[in-house]
Every structure is written in structure tokens, then in C-alpha cells.
């Protein structure tokens, strides 16, 4: 029975992944007029690649890759990649999809770029790089900081917040919980899923206790894999839903089954369902 449920969930995730990849390919290489379309394509592509990587680890998937003819059941890597998929979706929703006033959108993009350059500089400094690019990166940071400080939304913030954002330490000014709420996801659902997956990312005791009893072919282990498959399915549904908002001409390429699956997961993850 557990095997049948798992195979059903796996088939749904595979169908979603194939749909997402087709959407990404169909819109790749388009000329774009706004940065949201450009970066949205890149982030959605990352989500597609992460979904493929997850399916390669899932037993009985058509993507599954055996190692030396051994059946490898790897719940830890599946959960780690699942959290990566969720993080990518949060960035996608925050930066690309959410409808906000133009000055706030400009602030979000400038803050994101400032954080990017600041991180680049820190990594080079930590390895004591002698690259001649460092001075240019410092110049870029100063210019991005100047542009951020001239933004109308930035200037509406309290001075403490302005100092925090102009430091380059933070790439997004909303929390993941706030982003989830704006995307129609019950924040308690997000927190529970993220906490579960993060235990595997950080190799906390909870994850090790599950890994210790995890065995290939075991029905309980299959149930754990099915749980992780569900988390991936829900977020991939929302990513597809939101991507066609960015490229509405692709909505007609969604099958009725995919649309119904998206609606089902909107309900499961949303505010209407009691946890």
C-alpha cells in the first residue's frame, strides 16, 4: 500500500518536473525588456535543475541513477535539495513575482545586487586574493550603495533599517515567513517543512535518528521519502503557477491535470487548511 502511494506521488512530481522543464526551454533565449524576466528565467531554471537532481535520487523514478548496480536510498540528500528548492522559490516569489510599488521593487533589486557584490568581496578577502578585480568590486559596491540610498522606498525606512540594508549584509528585506504569507502559504506549514528539512541540512540529531533506522526497501523509509516528495511537489506547483504569471503566453501549455494538481497543493499549503 505504501509502495503504491509513493509511486503515485513520484509520478506527480515527475509530471510537474517535465512541465517545468518544458516551460523553461520554451521561454529560454527570449529577448526581455525588464530585469524581472531575465532573472526570473534564471531562478526558475535553477528550480528545474534542483527538481531533476531530486528525482535522480528517488528510487523507482525514471530519472533514478543507480551506483555500481546498488539501490541507493538517500533521504538526507533528498531533504537537503528539497530545502534548496524552497529557498529558490522564496527568492523567485520575493524578487520576481510579488506585485509591489515600483520604488519598492527598485529597492529590492538594488539591495539584492549590493548583497551580491558584498558577498563576492568578502569571499575574495577571506582567501586573501590578489586579484586586480577587487578594486573594481569595491567601486561597484560604493556605486550600488549610493543608488540604494537615493531610492525613495529606502528613504521611507527608519535610520536603523537603512544602516542595516546599506551595509550589504542582507539580500532580502522580508523574512521567509513573510514571503510565504504573501505567496498564499500558511506560515506554519512553511515553518514546519523548513524546520524538518533543515535538520538534514545541518546534520542535527533528529535527522541522524531517522537516518539510523532508514533502510532501502523498508515501508517506513518509503513513507519518509514520500513525505519529502510531497514537499517538493507543493513548491514546484507554486513555482510553475508563478512562472506562467511572468510568461502568460505559456499558460495554455499547462495540461488540465497539472492545473488541478496546482490547485490541490494551493489548498494543502494555504490558509484554508487547518494544520
Name the more confident of 132 and 50: 50
pLDDT greater than 70 at residue 63: yes
Question: Which one of 119, 150, 175 terminates a domain?
Answer: 175
Last residue of a domain, one of 132, 157, 175: 175
Domain finish residue from 128, 151, 175? 175
Residue 114, class by beta-carbon neighbours within 10 Å (0-12 exposed, 13-18 middle, 19+ buried)?
buried
Q: Residue 133 sits in which domain range?
A: 101-175
Whether 161 and 243 share a structural domain: no
| Percentage with pLDDT > 70 across the chain | 98
pTM: 0.93
Task: Reduce the DSSP state of residue 67 to 3 states and report it.
Answer: strand
What pLDDT is attached to residue 234? 98
Q: 170 with 192, same domain? A: no
pLDDT at 275 over 50: no
Q: At what angle do helices 187-201 and 219-246 cross, to 10 degrees?
A: 120
The yes-or-no verdict on residue 274 having pLDDT over 60 is no
Amino acid at each position: 500500500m505504501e509502495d503504491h502511494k509513493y509511486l503515485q506521488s513520484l509520478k506527480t512530481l515527475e509530471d510537474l518536473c517535465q512541465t517545468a522543464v518544458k516551460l523553461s526551454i520554451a521561454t529560454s533565449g527570449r529577448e526581455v525588456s525588464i530585469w524581472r524576466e531575465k532573472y526570473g528565467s534564471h531562478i526558475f531554471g535553477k528550480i528545474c535543475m534542483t527538481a531533476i537532481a531530486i528525482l535522480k535520487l528517488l528510487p523507482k523514478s525514471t530519472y533514478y541513477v543507480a551506483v555500481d548496480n546498488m539501490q541507493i536510498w538517500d533521504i538526507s540528500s533528498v531533504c537537503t535539495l528539497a530545502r534548496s528548492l524552497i529557498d529558490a522559490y522564496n527568492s523567485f516569489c520575493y524578487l520576481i513575482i510579488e506585485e509591489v510599488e515600483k520604488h519598492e521593487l527598485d529597492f529590492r533589486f538594488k539591495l539584492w545586487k549590493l548583497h551580491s557584490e558584498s558577498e563576492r568581496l568578502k569571499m575574495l578577502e577571506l582567501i586573501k586574493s590578489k586579484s586586480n578585480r577587487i578594486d573594481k568590486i569595491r567601486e561597484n559596491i560604493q556605486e550600488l550603495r549610493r543608488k540604494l540610498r537615493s531610492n525613495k522606498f529606502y528613504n521611507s525606512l527608519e535610520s536603523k533599517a537603512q544602516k542595516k540594508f546599506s551595509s550589504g549584509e542582507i539580500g532580502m528585506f522580508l523574512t521567509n515567513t513573510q514571503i510565504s504569507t504573501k505567496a498564499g502559504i500558511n506560515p506554519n506549514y512553511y515553518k514546519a517543512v523548513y524546520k524538518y528539512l533543515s535538520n538534514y541540512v545541518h546534520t542535527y540529531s533528529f535527522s541522524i535518528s531517522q537516518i539510523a533506522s532508514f533502510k532501502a526497501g523498508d515501508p517506513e523509509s518509503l513513507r519518509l521519502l514520500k513525505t519529502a516528495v510531497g514537499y517538493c511537489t507543493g513548491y514546484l506547483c507554486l513555482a510553475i503557477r508563478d512562472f506562467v504569471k511572468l510568461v502568460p503566453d505559456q499558460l495554455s501549455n499547462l495540461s488540465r491535470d497539472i492545473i488541478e494538481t496546482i490547485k490541490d497543493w494551493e489548498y494543502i499549503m494555504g490558509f484554508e487548511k487547518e494544520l
